[in-house]
Amino acid sequence: MCGHHTMQHATHGTPVQEHHNAMSMEDPKRVLQLRYARGEITREEYLQMMADLEGVKPQEQA
């Protein structure tokens, strides 16, 4: 038996953020892009969430 495979199951199904800590801000943005592309969130929700992640206040629509 080889001990190399013992950690393999531990990472299965874990969030992307845990797997790639070096890109901690890119991952949430990528998730938002995917959710928007799949139609899970509206354009307004996408823009608001992206602005929240970037620390920018979005412009209000008149």
pTM of the model: 0.51
Over the chain (62 residues), the average pLDDT of each successive run of 10 is 49 52 76 96 96 79 56
pLDDT at 8: 47
Residue 59 φ then ψ, to 5°? -75, 140
Closest C-alpha among 25, 2, 27 to residue 15: 27
Q: Which amino acid is at 54?
A: E
